[in-house]
């Protein structure tokens, strides 16, 4: 059995995986909700102390914190930095919807296909400090000491998400070719 995918098969799987959440309204709403939540979490992680202090004073500061930190990321890293955050949030939304579908259809046995999500969720993170969710875990200083302020870690997280999506393909279709089928 040939389980290695060629470049064309990988791209076909990637396109199927990316388009899957947008096939129904329910999945689209789920993807948008996860994308929004991921974006907010990544923006808040750009300055965890500021975020915690302001939101600790009351949730009425939520809008101010998100808008001001979005502006800070834009002023620090420009459209590229903000684009990385948006792309990461979008890919996370798509990956979570696909992972939930895989878990629903296949069960816990599909956890091996989900292994690409966790490193990406922990490492990619914000464009201004490179910490991502690791900033909330106390690793922001270590990532900031990396070359290019951790930009390679963020790109690595995006690559892991793309690898997961391309490898998994459409969650409702089997992507493993059988011996007689081509």
Token pair, residue 160, equals 């892991």
Q: Structure tokens of 123?
A: 């490492």
Structure tokens at 156: 């690595």
Picking from 148, 173, 168, the residue whose alpha carbon sits closest to that of residue 96 is 168
- φ and ψ at 36, to 5 degrees? -60, -45
Q: How far apart are CA 165 and CA 98, in angstroms?
A: 8
Which sign does the torsion angle of CA 105, 100, 109, 156 carry? positive
> pLDDT band at residue 63, thresholds of 50, 70 and 90?
very high
Q: Is 166 exposed, middle or buried (0-12, 13-18, 19+ CB in 10 A)?
A: buried
* Residue 38 · residue 92 · CB < 8 Å: yes
What are the tens digits of pLDDT across the range 85-134? 899 899 989 988 888 887 787 766 555 555 545 544 444 444 334 444 44
For residue 39, pLDDT beyond 60: yes
Residue 3 in tokens: 């389980």
- Model confidence over 146-182: pLDDT tens digits? 555 556 667 777 887 888 888 888 888 765 554 444 4
pTM reported for the whole predicted model:
0.73
DSSP class of residue 163 equals H
Q: Which two tokens stand for residue 60?
A: 């009425």
141 burial via Cβ count (<10 Å: 0-12, 13-18, 19+): exposed
Percent of the chain with pLDDT over 70: 66
Among 4, 3, 77, residue whose Cα is nearest residue 42: 77
The residue with tokens 């995006």 is: 158
Identify the residue whose tokens are 């064309």. Answer: 8
The two tokens of residue 26 are: 């329910």
């Amino acid at each position: 059995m040939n389980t290695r995918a060629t470049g064309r098969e990988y791209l076909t799987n990637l396109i199927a995986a990316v388009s899957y959440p947008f096939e129904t309204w329910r999945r689209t709403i789920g993807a948008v909700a996860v994308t929004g939540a991921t974006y907010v979490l990544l923006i808040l992680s750009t300055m965890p102390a500021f975020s915690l202090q302001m939101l600790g004073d009351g949730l009425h500061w939520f809008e101010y914190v998100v808008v001001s930190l979005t502006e800070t990321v834009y002023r620090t890293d420009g459209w590229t930095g903000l684009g990385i955050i948006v792309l990461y949030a979008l890919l996370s939304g798509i990956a979570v919807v696909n992972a939930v579908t895989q878990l629903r259809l296949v069960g816990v046995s599909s956890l091996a296909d989900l292994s690409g999500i966790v490193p990406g969720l922990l490492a990619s993170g914000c464009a201004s400090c490179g910490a991502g969710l690791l900033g909330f875990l106390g690793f922001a200083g270590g990532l900031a000491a990396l070359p290019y302020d951790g930009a390679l870690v963020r790109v690595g997280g995006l690559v892991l998400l793309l690898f997961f999506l391309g490898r998994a393909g459409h969650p409702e279709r089997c992507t493993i070719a059988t011996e007689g089928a081509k």
